A and B are shown apart, each in its own frame.
Chain A
């Protein structure tokens, strides 16, 4: 810590804070220092704060009132994001990083936009892949692919998080998920909604980037795989989109994004979350020729923190909050329609069994 480094306050000290943000900040000690950590569990707050020599609290207001906290990172449960972003703006902080989603309704997002404009507080949402150097390099070189791509594929095979968390840190506590009856239509719909808003949301901004008509969303089908995940076929404007994820203990994690046109295509392979394994690798193909970008030395989480520092110091232009709202409303629409499709399909399957 030095007088010239930026003071960080963290709301919510669960695995994402422990295994993602603190290890990332440990790589940027010349830029940031952690001032205060808040968690509703005092033991977790104290334990996590103690790792970085920060103060701890169980009170959001106490953290926001701390003048040494210049940047607030919000890693609390989703339902608290919007109110905490607004409160951080009102507290006069220099920049805010909110984990995705930054709100759960369009109305909340619009309130955030209004308050951010009023207080002139720059906000970024932790869609880390949008800050990944591999993605940013592809963006510079993909030419007319945004219009030329007709097919979008976004696929995840997700191993259990501890496989990577335990290489990144020593996790103090982990949330427990109760078993659920997936034959119940509401449970199945909830699993899909949670999957889209908790996992797919990471790269839905990338999907949206290739879908100029992103308000024209039709869910063609949605499947709930075992044990969890989603397989959603979509038409977004004129684009054919598939968004899929499966949780599996198998040994081949996958996190890919593809945009494919008649004569050019992009594929990005992202490195796993949690571990400091460098950036994504992007390949742009034009027939038999390929251009490869990356892997670069750091990942999207570090990219977002570097950008956050520039925002806090006034050396970068803030993101257009309208775009963040568009990202959110796109995600909400995909989640709502996918959940509805699975609810209906599950109910129909149950009726067939009863008959």
Chain B
């Protein structure tokens, strides 16, 4: 039998993360709750780590953070409470489903391309953190990052994975295109292409694995990333696990800070 947990969310988190919709779409697992809810949804703006700590102090059994900004989350990681970081794309089911195909092609001869099309006015650093989480989840964590360009219209950056694979990262701020991310790995003989829509939509991401023998579209799943993130948090809490989001996030924040500092110093 499914354990039903209660959820509360700040107004900002509810707006940014469509939490009401996600909870309504998991009626056997989740139910709206009050101040003593089992799970708490927080917006990822400044101060989210303090808010998460406070929620845990108040008895929350799990926390979900929508689109987290850069922060020192080490103290939070030391608590034995699951925290799910609901970045823009990570929890789209296509991302998890693509991981095996990407990982199998991750070596020094690979070129990884990742691009985000996001609305004008988006917080670039938060977009970058979501993008790094996407690469980390689908392929592997970046171990090096440097910027060719960072301006009000987006960025172009280069990075590497531990395997030696080279990564080209880009973000383009535009209202002309649908918000989305794309990730591709290209090798001399084959390729994998992933497209991920906005987290609020249930339109599916697409994964196409391509080789000289042909191209295969993996199974499409019509589930929003937000719903998957809440489902994941529910699973962690009921299983007594904590997840790995915070550990990956800490490494990403360190990488971003180093690369941004190099841009500022240049």
Chain A interface (Cβ < 8 Å from any Cβ of B):
150-151, 157, 220-221, 223, 225-227, 231, 233, 235, 240, 242, 244, 246-252, 260-265, 285-287
Contact = CB atoms under 8 A, between A and B. Distances in A.
A260 B174 contact: yes
Contacts of B34: none
B111 A246 contact: yes
A285 B148 contact: no
B148 A251 contact: no
28 contacts: A151-B154, A151-B172, A151-B174, A157-B186, A157-B191, A220-B148, A225-B166, A225-B186, A226-B109, A227-B109, A231-B111, A231-B168, A240-B151, A242-B170, A249-B188, A249-B189, A251-B211, A251-B214, A252-B193, A252-B215, A260-B172, A260-B177, A261-B174, A262-B173, A263-B176, A285-B177, A287-B175, A287-B176
Interface in B186-229: 186-191, 193, 208, 210-215
B120 A235 contact: no
Contacts of A252: 191, 193, 208, 210, 215
Contact of A251 (B109, B149, B188, B210): B210
Nearest to B184: A157
A249 B175 contact: no
Interface residues of B, number: 35
B176 A260 contact: yes
Contacts, number: 100
Give chain A's interface secondary structure class: strand
A250 B176 contact: no
Given A226-B188, A235-B149, A242-B156, A251 B213 contact: yes
Contacts of A223: 111, 158, 166, 168
Which of B149, B170, B193: most chain A CB closer than 10 A? B149
Closest 7 CB pairs of A and B: A220-B148, A265-B176, A250-B191, A226-B109, A250-B210, A225-B111, A233-B148
A262 B111 CA distance: 28
Given A247-B188, A252-B191, A264-B176, A240 B153 contact: yes
Nearest to B155: A240
A231 B177 CA distance: 23
Interface string B108-139: 01110100000010000000000000000000
A286 B212 CA distance: 36
A65 to B, nearest CB: 46
B111 A226 contact: yes
A126 B102 CA distance: 38
Given A225-B111, A285-B177, A248 B172 contact: no
A227 B215 contact: no
